[in-house]
A and B are shown apart, each in its own frame.
Chain A
C-alpha cells in the first residue's frame, strides 16, 4: 500500500499520567539543545490554552512530537514528510520514532510518566489516498493488525476504526491484551514486521 503524505502515531501513558506544560516545554527545548533527535529541530510550540488541543509540540522539519491529553495522555508523533515506500514501512518507522521519543521522555522526567504500548492509535492524514471509509478500513485494518501482531508477538491484537465520520482522518486504535513496556519491544522486530506475514 502506498505511503501516505502524513501519518500520526500516538502512545498512551500508564494510568493516564501527564506532565505539566512547563516541564514539557523545558524538556523539549533540552532535546533540541542536546541534539537528541534524528530530525532537524525547529521550535517548541505551546497550545496548552486549547481544550483538547495538541498540547505542547516539538516541531521538526520531518515530524512533530506532541504530548497531549486528547483521549488520554500520551505522546503523539506526526510524520510530516512522506516516507518513501509502503504504508507498512511508514507505520513501522513512525512507531519506532515515537517509541524512541517515549523512552526519552520516560528517562528525562525521572519516571513521572511511563508508557504502556498496549494501546496505539494510528491516524492517516491523507484523505485522498486513505479516505475515512469502510473500503479503507477493509484494506488497511488487516495490514495493521498483521503488523502489530508481529510487533506485539501475539495474535490477540484488536484493531478498530476510531470514527466513521468521513470528515475526520482515517484512524485505527490497536490494543494488545496485556501491558507492554517499551523494553519489551525490539526495534529489530518492528523493522522486520514489514517483511513478516501476520501471525
Chain B
C-alpha cells in the first residue's frame, strides 16, 4: 500500500526534533495562505528554514523589450514584494561540508523532484537548489531530515552554516583536526536562545592552520584557528578566536578576540559574543548590522571587555565541556587499507588530474582527491553516481568545499587510476581543481535578486577560453585563482582572489552596459589574509581580454618566484590600471551591440525602454564629466595609500565622495559651487531626504558614508581606516552612477515615446489542432 504522504513514510526514520520543526513550518505556510500571518514575520520564518527568494519573485521581468508582469495564479505573497508562486531557492546546510553517500542519494532525489535536477555547491559548503516552489519545501525538508540533513537556519538573521577547512584531519600543516569542534559548535549554536535576535547573520569558520587558506577565518564574523601549547610538558589544544571579519560591500579583516581559548570555552565565548551582538548590534539599518560594524564602532578592546563581562554572567551549561568526550572519540575511518600508487598503470589524462586534483595526506598511502565541479554544479544523476563512487573508494569521507567542489578523503593511493576512470565515466573527471580554470562564481543574475551582471555567464566564458589554452599556460598562471561576484556583495569572494571581479554597470549614451570592476591581488592564503583593491571597471565583454592582459603582464614582468600578490604590490595600482585602460572604452552600439548585452543573455542590458532625448543627453553628458573627477580622485587616493601617505589617502577618499555628490547635485542645481558644506547640504536635501539616492536594496547606506566623513573626518587615520574611506568612496561613486541612471530612466519614461518595435519573426506553422 502506498503511503499517503512523505511525513507518514519517513516518520520512523526522522529525528523527532527535526520533524517537529518541519511540521511547524508547514503550519505556518498554511496560515500564511489564509492571510493569518504577517508577511514580514513569515519571510523571516521561511528564511530560517533556508527558503529564499529568487530573481523575478516580485512578479516582474524584462524580456529585452519591455518589463512584463508574471501573472502567477495565486495572488498572495510569501514576504514583502515576493509572489507566492514565484520559484525560489532552497539552501541546505552541510555543517563543515561533511556528507555521506546515503545523504548524497537523497540530495540528488530532492533535486530532481523539486528543482531543476541540479545541485549547486555554495561558497559556504552548503547546497542550493533553484526554482523550488514553496509548497514543495516541507516534503523536501522531511526527505532530507530522514538522512540527518537540516535546512534550519540556513538563511535569516541567525548563525549560518559553520564552515571548516576541507582538509581538516588530513592536512600536513594543521595543529590538530578541528572538524569535531566545528560540528559541536554548529550544533550548539543552531536554535540556541542567544542566537535568535540578531540584526543580521553570523558566519563561523574553523581552521587548523594559520598560514594556509584553510577555513578563511579572517573573513568571518567568528573564526577559530586551532593551536597547541606545551603546558607542564603536555600538549594542550586551544583556539585563537577572531571576530568581526567579513566581505560584503566593505570588507573587514577579523580581529583577535582572544588568544588560545581553551576547548571548553569556545561555546560559552561564542554564546557571549552572540549576546553582545544581539544587544548592541545594529537592528534597524541592515547594511550596518554585521558584527564587523559593531567591532569597528566599539573598538576591539571594548568589544573584548563586553564579551568577558557577558561570559562571566552566563549560567553554566554542561554542553560547554561535555562535547569534548565526543571530540576525543572522533575518528575518521579509512574505508580501505593504505597502499602506494607505485607500479599502477596510469590512464590517459591521469597525470594532469593527479597534479591538480590530488593532495597527499600525512597518513602514508592516502590522498585527498578533488572532484572539480564546473561552477559548483552537478546533476542529480551525477550525484547518485558519485555516491556510488564514494561507497567504492572512501565510504563516508566526503566533503564539500568553499571553492564549490567536493573532496574525497582517505583515498588509497593505489585506487587513484581506477577512481579517476570512474569519475571520468560520470563526467566528473575534470582536471584543474584550485587553478585558474576552477573559477568561483556566485549565482549573479542567473537567479539572484541582487545580481547586477552575469557572474556565471562570465565564468562560463572564461572557463571555455582558459581551458582551451590551459595546457600551454605557464604554471604561474595556471595556479592563479579567479573569483566573480555579480554585485558588490561579494558572494563570489572576489576580494580574496588573485583576479577578482564584481558586477556593476555604466552608461554609454542612453544605454546601459554590463561591467565588471577588476579587483587585483587578494590573498587566499593566511586564512584570506588580505583583500584586493579595485583598479577600474571594464565592460563585461572585455573581461576575457583583460584577464589575458593581466596574466601576460605578470608573466613578463615578474621576478623569479615572485607571487602574484607581490607583483601587484610592486606594479602599483596606477600601472595596474594602465594595464586595463585599453579595455575600458565602450564601443558604439552600432559598432558592437554585443557589448550592450551580458554574457549568455541576448537581451539588451537595460531595465527600461530608453529613448534618446536631448534633456537626458545633456544631463548624462554633464554628469559624466563631473563623475570622472570623482573616480580619478578615488584612484589617486589609492595611490597615496600605496605610497604610505595615509592622511592624504583618507582626505582624497573623502574628496572623491564630495566630487561625486557634486556631480549628482549639478544634475539639478548647477550653481552648487565647490564648498563641501554646501555640496553635502544640497545632496542631503535633494537626493537623500527625498530618497532619490536610495538603492532599492541598500537604501541610504552609501549616502551615509558621505555624511559620516563630512561630520567626523578621520583624524590621524591608520592604514586600515584610510583604506576603508577609499572603499566607501568607491561605493558612494557606484551608488551615484546608479542613482543617475535611475533618474535618467524616470525622465525618459515621462516623455511619451513610441513603443520599441519587436523584430519581426516568421509565423510558426503548427499542425492542425495545435494552438499558437
Contacts and interface: CB of A to CB of B under 8 A. Distances in A.
Interface of A: 5-6, 21, 25-26, 29-30, 32-34, 36, 38, 40-54, 57, 59, 61, 64, 80, 96, 99-100, 103-104, 107-108, 125-129, 165, 167-169, 182-183, 185-188
Contact of B600 (A46, A51, A129): A46
A50 B772 contact: no
Contacts of B118: 47, 50, 53-54
B264 interface: no
Given A34-B761, A51-B382, 12 more contacts: A36-B764, A46-B446, A46-B457, A49-B460, A52-B382, A54-B117, A61-B70, A80-B133, A100-B771, A103-B766, A103-B767, A127-B113
Nearest to A96: B770
Per DSSP, chain B at the interface is loop
B770 A51 contact: no
A6 B113 contact: yes
B377 interface: yes
B375 interface: yes
Contacts of A32: 63
Contacts of B427: 50-52
B463 A49 contact: yes
B387 to A, nearest CB: 8
Nearest to A53: B379
Interface residues of B, number: 61
A118 B220 CA distance: 56
Contact of A182 (B426, B463, B600, B767): B767
Interface in B45-74: 55-56, 61, 63-65, 70-73
B6 A128 contact: yes
Nearest to A32: B63
Interface in B219-270: none
A186 B117 CA distance: 31
Contacts of A50: 118, 374, 377-379, 382, 427
Interface of B: 2-3, 5-6, 9, 55-56, 61, 63-65, 70-73, 85-87, 105, 108-109, 112-113, 116-118, 130-131, 133, 374-375, 377-379, 381-382, 384, 426-428, 446, 456-457, 460, 463, 600-603, 758, 761-762, 764-772
B536 to A, nearest CB: 28
A74 to B, nearest CB: 15
Nearest to B104: A167
A168 B377 CA distance: 19
Given A34-B761, A80-B133, A183 B56 contact: no
Contacts of B767: 103, 182-183, 185-187
A108 B765 CA distance: 10
Contacts of B64: 29, 33
A112 to B, nearest CB: 14
A64 B55 CA distance: 17
A33 B374 contact: no
B600 A34 contact: no
The list of the 8 closest CB pairs from A to B, nearest first, reads A51-B427, A187-B769, A49-B374, A33-B63, A107-B764, A46-B600, A125-B113, A26-B602
Contacts of B770: 96, 99-100, 103, 187
Contacts of A127: 109, 113
Contacts of A54: 116-118, 379
Contacts of B382: 50-52
A11 to B, nearest CB: 14
A87 B125 CA distance: 39
Contacts of A183: 767
B56 A29 contact: no
B109 A100 contact: no
Contact of B72 (A6, A40, A165, A185): A40
Interface centre among B109, B133, B374, B764 (most CB of A within 10 A): B764
Contacts of B87: 42, 59, 61
25 contacts: A25-B602, A26-B602, A29-B603, A33-B63, A33-B64, A40-B70, A40-B72, A42-B56, A42-B61, A42-B87, A46-B460, A48-B460, A50-B118, A50-B379, A59-B131, A61-B70, A61-B72, A99-B770, A100-B771, A103-B770, A107-B764, A127-B113, A128-B3, A129-B2, A182-B767
